[in-house]
Structures are given as C-alpha cells and as structure tokens.
Structure 1
Amino acid sequence: MNLAQLRALVAVAETGSITGAGTALQVTQSAVSHALASLETELDARLVVRERSGCVLTELGYRLLGHARDAVRAVERLAEEAAAARDEHVGRLLIGAFPSAGQLLPPLVARLSRHHPGVSVTLLEGSDDEVTEWLRAGIVDLATVTSALPGLAITPLADDEMLAVVPAGHPLAHEPHVDVEELDGDPFLLSDGGCEPIIQAMYAQAGLRLRPTHRVRDMRTLLAMVSENLGVTIAPSLAISGPSRNQLIHQGVVGLSLRPRATRTLYLANRAEVSLSPAARTLLDAARIEELRPTG
C-alpha cells in the first residue's frame, strides 16, 4: 500500500469521478484508475463503483475513507512540521463554517496568509450539522461550533448576542429591550440552524413552552417572513446583520436586545485525537488573541 493509492481514493471520494480526481491530483485519469485498482487488489475488496454519473464508494470504501484521509494528512504533516522548524508554514488548511460564523474568519485567514503565504486556506460553508460532520470525517481541519462536543477540542472565537426580531410595525419595535414573555403572544418562526437549544432554554427559564408555527432553514427567508408580519423570532446578531453589524440583512424588521441579555459563544473546533498542523495552530493562536481583545 502506498500514498498514491490513498490519495486516489480520497480524491475520488471528494470529486465523485476519476476525471475530477485526476484534475485534483494533477495526474492522468489512467494513473488514478491504476492506483485504485492496485489498492483494491491489495485489499482484495471493491472500494469504488464506477457508474455513468461518476464514482461512488462502496460501504467498505466509506469505512476506509477516514483512515485514508488521516494517513494522507499524516504524511503531509511531515513536510509542514519540517517547514515550521524553519519558521515557515506550508501546506493546506481547510475550515468548515456555518454562515453566521464564517464572517469572523476572513480577518484571521488574511493575517495567516500575510505572514505565511505558503499556506493555502479554503473555507467551506455549510449548516451547523454539516460542518461538524466534515470535521469528524476529516474533510476539514477546523470547524465552527456553538458548544462543546464529544471528541472535539474547542477554542473560543467570539460571543454573539441573541436578538428578538420583530416586524418594523410591531408594537415592540421601538422598545430598547424586550422580554421573552412579550414575544409569547406572537407566532414564533424558528430557524433550523443550531440555535434551537439556546432558544428552548430561554423559554424554559421564563416558564414558557416554545411552540414554533414555522421552521425555516434559510435566514433570509425567515427574516422575509417576519417582515410580512407572519411572526417573530430570536436569532444571533451575526446571522441577521451585514458586515457593519449595525445593518440588518433584510428591510422591514427590527432587532432588539433581550432582557436579560442573551448570548451564544462561537468556537473553532478540531478533532482532539488528531494533531494540529502548524498552520492550524497559528490560526487558533490568532483566534485566542482576538477573543481576549477587549471590545468597545
């Protein structure tokens, strides 16, 4: 078994085809096919099924994929650690982020790129559950999460205020603060993101039961429904604000602070059992500096 075989398996899984794998690895299609065939011969098992629409991994192929990714990354780590010993960073860094947390990462990535141009950084955006699954599967090196999860090490990234979001013409729209109890008389629209446990806890603390009338995945759709007086919601400020943090991403709605003030903490997570690359360690160090920097 050799590295070329494992690289081929990982590339086919990620691109879904022999052609895509060849392009990603900068080798010919025949080289990818030969590497896969020799790996299957060595293991005496079918790992990839070739179909007209592309390639899919067999059940065994999926079980071995995580080990193959870890092996490829371990070999890459040798060069990265050697370069770090010379005060250089090289290699690639993949970060998974859900949309509201993703806007916190560009300044950290830009700082890393300025000091270590040899590192290629890729941001992959997905839902809360998707980015966590990418991290556990070894597809990304770091991922944004909103709570501690088994098997993951976490580094605080930022605190994000939870806001009540009401239509601009709502009786509460001009209040400086609102209580959860004041929202209980309106239909509640709930995002399918990762904030439901936080909102559930807020309602439970107020002695209320959260009864959402609609569940919506996309935040812009959710805010559009609020603006059309279909209900109210509670959402993180990062999810509903533009880059300035003062302008909501949808007209016709108002974001109000809650009383008592409620926040969620965003973290960068990595797999606890897998050693971090020098680039990942540097980015996490930068995140810790940002998190400790006083605000206001």
Structure 2
Amino acid sequence: MTITQIMIFVRVAETLSFTQTAHELHMTQPAVSHAIASIENELDVQLLLRDRKKGVLLTHIGHKVLLQFRMMLQSMEKVQQQVAAEKGLDVGTVTIGAFPSASAYFLPPIIHHIRQHYPNLVFDLREGSTNEVKEWVHTREIEAGIILLPDPQVDVIPLCQDNMVILLPDGHPMQTRDKIAIRDLNQQDMIFCKGGHEVAIMEGFEREQSQLKAQFITHNVSTLVSMVRQGLGMGIVSSLSLSTFPHDLTVKETMPLITREIGIAVPSLPDASPAVQLFIRTAKELFVDVET
C-alpha cells in the first residue's frame, strides 16, 4: 500500500463519506473506492462497512488500523519537517486542538510568535469541548491539544492555573467585599458555563459543604455576562474565559480559590514532530508560571 492510499483511508474514516473525500482530495469517487479496496485486499480484512441506511461505518479492526495509519502519517510529516530543518527551511503542518476559551487565550500569541520566525509553518486549528480535544489526542486525530489536566493516557506539559471568579451585577450587596466565601454562596442564584467549568466549580462547592444553586447554565461566556448584567444571578466563571470578553461588571475572587489546571497534551512527547516541539517550547516561554 502507498502513503497516498493510507491518507485516503484516513480521510474516508474521518468524514465517513467517499463522496466528500473525493471532493476534498480532488479525486474521482471510483479512485477513492479503489484505494480503499486495495488496502483491504492487501490486509485481507474489511475496514469499512457500506450500509445503505447508516452510510459508511468503521469495523472494529478498522478503528484500530485508523489509529496506526494516523501515527504513520504523522511520522511521515515528522520526517519531512526534520529534513526541511536540516536544509534551513521551515515547512509542514501542525494540527492543534483546544476548547474555545483556551483557543482564544493561548493560540493567537503562540502562533504570532512562531510565525515571526517560521512564516511557512501551517497551523490546522480545531475547536471542541474539553472531552473532545482529549479524545482527539488519544486517537491521534490531532498532534497536540490544550486540555484540562490531568490526563494519564498521554504526555502533558502544564501551562497555567486558572482560577474561578464571581461576576456580580450592579448594586449587588457583595460588591463591597474583597473576596467572596464559597459558603456564602450556598443556595444563591448562580449562573455558570458548560465546557470545562462545571467539574471544578461543583467540586469546590462540595469541599466547602455549600450547595450550588445553578439558576441558569449557559454554553458561552458572552451569554453569562449578559445574564449577570440583567441581574438574573451571580456568574461564576474562569478568569481565563472572562479575559476574552470585555465587560464593566464587578469581579471577585473566591475564598478558598477554585482552580483548574490547563496544559498541552501530546500522544508521545519524544515522538512529537519538530513543529509540535516548537509549539510546546513557545507556549512554555509565553505562559508557564504566568498567572491568569
């Protein structure tokens, strides 16, 4: 089998569509089908199922082969980058995933710094929930992901600690306090976001034996800010997420602090490509030991 055939299989497995793969790779659909058939014939196993109702599905062995093929393609990309580096060139693509607030906070300065020195590197950026990004790293769909720690299944590089803060509407009686005790939030109307906030918040309330009354649960910080501004409750959100949304509301630290740790995850740090290693070095230079 050829690298091109492997690349075609990976794309079909990801899109679950022969038609879409043919369109993306500028091929005919019969050519895509022939590439898949060639791999299946060589391995003497069925990797994909064609179901009239459900469409294209991966078999059990197909899932396992997909993981290995992704590793092969990433190894080829690593070879190309190493050869280019030896020639004094900067080429290649690095695939990075992050949950939305981390994407907005970390990626622009990291990429800006890298592009100043390596303008030809291409970044393929993907956003998803915290669990989705972890899964993408585990299955090698991406080369590196910014995730919530810990994750014992992969190699991780801690970046920073992210504290939860309280967002108060105008005129709220707690505005005069320096910090707000978690126990004083027992049964208070609270608004918080999904997408990586909820676990740390719930655990923080449990430790203080305070009951979290989630009056509203949003899926983005801008909605939370608007709801707090309308006096619908106090917001509790990470300082990192809040930093990407300008506002004029009062922000207070919690007592004790509720924190979550953010870091970079890679399937294997020793096997990471030169571009991924550059991404990690740059992220550490810009963010390690910097409080958010």
Q: Normalization by structure 2: what TM-score? A: 0.86
Listed as ranges, the gaps of 5+ residues in structure 2 are none
Cα deviation, 1:17-55, whole Å, max 9, x if unaligned, reads 223323433443332221011112223333234458864
State the partner residue of 1:194.
196
From the superposition, tell whether residues 274 and 134 of structure 1 become closer, same or farther in structure 2 (CA, over 3 Å): farther
State the partner residue of 1:100.
101
Describe the SS at the equivalent of 1:276. coil
State the partner residue of 2:143.
141
Partner Cα distance (2:65, 2:122) in 1: 26
8 Å contact from structure 1 (residues 157, 290) kept in 2:
no
Partner Cα distance (1:196, 1:97) in 2: 17
Describe the SS at the equivalent of 1:82. helix
State the partner residue of 2:40.
40
State the partner residue of 2:272.
276
From the superposition, tell whether residues 53 and 198 of structure 1 become closer, same or farther in structure 2 (CA, over 3 Å): closer
State the partner residue of 2:221.
219
State the partner residue of 1:29.
29
Partner Cα distance (1:227, 1:4) in 2: 54
Q: CA deviation at 1:234?
A: 1.9
Q: CA deviation at 1:136?
A: 0.8
8 Å contact from structure 1 (residues 3, 72) kept in 2:
yes
Question: One-letter code of the match for 1:91?
Answer: G
8 Å contact from structure 2 (residues 191, 218) kept in 1:
yes
1:65-76 alignment runs, 5 A limit:
65-76=66-77
Query: 1:255 aligned to 2:251?
Result: yes
State the partner residue of 2:242.
240
* Worse overlay, 211-220 or 271-280: 211-220
8 Å contact from structure 2 (residues 188, 213) kept in 1:
no
Query: 1:2 aligned to 2:2?
Result: yes
Partner Cα distance (1:292, 1:127) in 2: 23
From the superposition, tell whether residues 125 and 46 of structure 1 become closer, same or farther in structure 2 (CA, over 3 Å): same
Partner Cα distance (2:135, 2:288) in 1: 28
8 Å contact from structure 1 (residues 142, 269) kept in 2:
yes
From the superposition, tell whether residues 58 and 168 of structure 1 become closer, same or farther in structure 2 (CA, over 3 Å): farther
From the superposition, tell whether residues 233 and 294 of structure 1 become closer, same or farther in structure 2 (CA, over 3 Å): closer
Partner Cα distance (1:102, 1:194) in 2: 13
State the partner residue of 1:161.
163
Query: 1:13 aligned to 2:13?
Result: yes
Partner Cα distance (1:176, 1:192) in 2: 27
Q: CA deviation at 1:129?
A: 0.7
State the partner residue of 1:287.
283
Question: One-letter code of the match for 1:226?
Answer: V
Superposition RMSD in Å: 2.8
How many aligned positions are there? 290
Partner Cα distance (1:60, 1:230) in 2: 51
> 134, 150, 153: which is aligned to 1:151?
153
Describe the SS at the equivalent of 1:173. helix
* Worse overlay, 15-24 or 122-131: 15-24
Cα deviation, 1:231-253, whole Å, max 9, x if unaligned, reads 3332112222336xxx23xx7x5
Describe the SS at the equivalent of 2:175. coil
Partner Cα distance (2:49, 2:224) in 1: 41
Cα deviation, 1:166-214, whole Å, max 9, x if unaligned, reads 3334222354322212222412334332233322342234332445354
State the partner residue of 1:118.
120
Q: Normalization by structure 1: what TM-score? A: 0.85
Partner Cα distance (2:71, 2:179) in 1: 49
8 Å contact from structure 2 (residues 186, 213) kept in 1:
no
Calculate percent identity across the aligned residue pairs: 31
Question: One-letter code of the match for 1:285?
Answer: R
Q: CA deviation at 1:101?
A: 0.6
Listed as ranges, the gaps of 5+ residues in structure 1 are none
From the superposition, tell whether residues 293 and 63 of structure 1 become closer, same or farther in structure 2 (CA, over 3 Å): closer
